[in-house]
Structure 1
Amino acid sequence: MKINFLHHPLDETHKFEDPVVLAMGFFDGVHLGHQEVINTAKKIADDLGVKLAVLTYDHHPALVYKKLSQHDKKYLTLKDEKMRIFKELGVDQVFVVNYSYKFQDQSPQEFVDNYLVRFNAVTVVAGFDHTYGEKSIANMENLASLAKGRFDVVTVNPILENEIKVSSTNIRKALDKSNVTLANKYLGRTFQTTGLIVHGDQRGRILGFPTINIEHDERQWLPGIGEYVVEVKIGDRVYQGMGSIGRNVTFEPNRPVTVEINLFDFNENVYGENVTIRWHKYLRGEIKFDSADELIKQLHQDEIVARNFFIN
């Protein structure tokens, strides 16, 4: 899969000669709705015998036109993960455009002429609510007239689960509520994050539940505070365990949020390893216990539930 990182305005040296079917979207999460857009575009590309391309952006478009909180600046899928999923879906080429004020300041017609036509798109596919400028004008209903017969336009309807639209926004809300089961349903796969194993307080080892401490990219969206059933991929091996996102309130107040994972039947030094965490199920919220013994008792109960999850 070829990845093109582009800056507006496009340099004249950029040549895009091969005809493509182009799927448009930011695609944060690459959830079931996004997959429907890309799969629709792939089917058309296969039928026409041309390559499948994706047009996306290097950061949240909203960063250009409004102030976002630190939380809202985070992503469900960071760049490498997004590209990996695109490749799995059969994408041949990705156009990653730097979403700047100058890019946004184009008229809808200029966007079509400068990008969609120049990319040699024979068909452009996007979700029903996709916009490429002012939403009252730059919407999918108007794209065909802006195309002026130079390419076809295909609009993909939303994917609904229990009458609720599958969307990045609803996945973020589910994760904030620690509902990874719902988030996974909307994603069509298990939500996963990547991080680095670093040193922690080693308090878990004293309690009989040694943990690996994971440091995440500050831009990575994480599930809400709580205890979870997880799998962790280290190198080529996958380990089962239970993960905690929280502040360790039993031992110390006002601590920063950390991610700690107890891997079952595991005793290796893995500091410095890059890992992938798959978040399967929410177990419970964070509890402030009156003693270490009460915490240990609860952890044994959590382990039973987590192990049973993988058995069943």
Structure 2
Amino acid sequence: MKTVSLSYPLLPEQLEQYAKAQVLAIGQFDGLHLGHAAVINRAVEIAHKEGILASVMTFHPHPKEVMKKGDYEGYLTPLHDKVEILEQMGVHVIYIVEFNDEFSRVSPQEFVLNMLKGLQVHTAVVGFDFRFGHRGEGNPEMLRDLGQSFMQVEIIPPFVLDSEKVSSSGIRKWLQTGNLSGANVWLGRCYSITGTVVDGEKRGRTIGFPTANLKLNDPYVVPAKGVYAVRVKYNDRFISGVMNIGVKPTFHTGEVIPSYEVHLLDFNESIYGQELVVELVAYIREERKFNSVDELIAQIRRDAEEAAVILKALK
């Protein structure tokens, strides 16, 4: 898969290099959940049928981050994660359009004529709630009208599970309230975060449960504070583990920024400085303050045992 960075307006050399018949799925696609996958899979399907490229256009940074409004609370799938997932979906090209203040003022007409027509889009595939152009004035029907002379537009209906529309905002809410199972169903995979192992307080090793303290690589949506059963990808293999997200109230007061600490089961290698991908498989319990360190140790032991049982059932 080829990753292409674009900015508005497109340069003549960009048009010369990338303008070719293609089926283009357009959207922010934060989360790449089941609804997003329906849009992208349909684009890949049409492209295969037509014998042309399957491409995706997304925008970075997130428009809500740039405009400083709305309910932006971090990414479900930061750009690096998004690119990796799209590659697995059979996409040939991903266009990453720089979203800045200037681009936010581009009209729907300018976007269609100067970008989509310029790239020779054969078919655009969008979700039913797709918005584009200044103040989000463009919608799927307008896209179809503006492009009717040179491209087809296919509009994908809502993806519904148990009478609810799958959405990124819904997944964020579920993660933040501890409904990890609901979030993972809507994502179609386990929610994951990527971080680098850094020095922590080293308290875990003194109580028999050494932990890897993670510094996240990107501003992810922060799940509910608590304890999770996790699978950790390290050196192309998965290791079972238990992770605490929180402020460690047994040892600290007044902390508000959560830490991410992973205890890897049956593992004793030194991994400082290494990058770990952590898949959140199950929410075990909320974070709470314990009356003593011994009480905390006993609970951590129970958490590790519960995580091991949960993760063993996946194999």
Q: TM-score range by the shorter chain?
A: over 0.9
Match 1:43 to one of 42, 45, 48: 45
Residue number in structure 1 paired with 2:296:
295
AA aligned to 2:83 is M
Give the CA deviation at 1:137: 4.3
Distance in 2 of aligned mates of 1:63 and 1:275: 26
Distance in 2 of aligned mates of 1:65 and 1:270: 38
Distance in 1 of aligned mates of 2:281 and 2:130: 30
**1:1-312 maps to which residues of 2 (within 5 A)?**
1-14=1-14, 15=16, 16-67=18-69, 72-133=72-133, 137-255=137-255, 256-312=257-313
Give the CA deviation at 1:73: 4.7
SS of equivalent to 1:13 = helix
Distance in 2 of aligned mates of 1:6 and 1:57: 9
Structure 2 spans left out of the alignment, 5+ residues: none
SS of equivalent to 2:13 = coil
Distance in 2 of aligned mates of 1:285 and 1:254: 18
Contact 2:106–2:134, Cα closer than 8 Å, also in 1: no
* Residues 148 and 181 of structure 1, relative CA distance in 2, 3 Å threshold: same
AA aligned to 1:294 is E
Distance in 1 of aligned mates of 2:307 and 2:91: 36
AA aligned to 1:195 is G
SS of equivalent to 1:287 = coil
Distance in 2 of aligned mates of 1:177 and 1:146: 41
Give the CA deviation at 1:41: 0.6
Deviations 1:234-261 (A, max 9, x none): 1122110110001111112123421111
Of the structure 1 ranges 170-179 and 95-104, higher mean CA displacement relative to structure 2 is found in 95-104
Deviations 1:126-166 (A, max 9, x none): 00000112578410122221113210010001111221111
Distance in 1 of aligned mates of 2:220 and 2:104: 25
Give the CA deviation at 1:178: 2.1
* Residues 212 and 150 of structure 1, relative CA distance in 2, 3 Å threshold: same
* Residues 189 and 136 of structure 1, relative CA distance in 2, 3 Å threshold: closer
* Residues 64 and 214 of structure 1, relative CA distance in 2, 3 Å threshold: closer
AA aligned to 2:3 is I
Distance in 2 of aligned mates of 1:239 and 1:161: 31
* Residues 141 and 135 of structure 1, relative CA distance in 2, 3 Å threshold: farther
Contact 1:60–1:73, Cα closer than 8 Å, also in 2: no
Distance in 2 of aligned mates of 1:262 and 1:64: 36
Distance in 2 of aligned mates of 1:240 and 1:250: 25
Deviations 1:29-49 (A, max 9, x none): 111001000001111101100
Distance in 2 of aligned mates of 1:307 and 1:222: 24
Distance in 1 of aligned mates of 2:40 and 2:156: 10
AA aligned to 1:129 is D
AA aligned to 2:307 is A
Distance in 1 of aligned mates of 2:68 and 2:266: 48
Kindly report the root-mean-square deviation, in angstroms, between the aligned alpha carbons of the 2 structures: 1.6
AA aligned to 1:215 is K
Which ranges of 4 or more aligned residues in structure 1 deviate by more than 4 Å? 134-137
Contact 2:232–2:239, Cα closer than 8 Å, also in 1: yes
Of the structure 1 ranges 234-243 and 98-107, higher mean CA displacement relative to structure 2 is found in 98-107
Distance in 1 of aligned mates of 2:29 and 2:271: 33
Distance in 2 of aligned mates of 1:281 and 1:133: 39
Count of residues in correspondence between the two structures:
310
Contact 1:211–1:263, Cα closer than 8 Å, also in 2: yes
AA aligned to 2:285 is R
| TM-score with structure 1 setting the length | 0.95
Distance in 2 of aligned mates of 1:104 and 1:209: 49
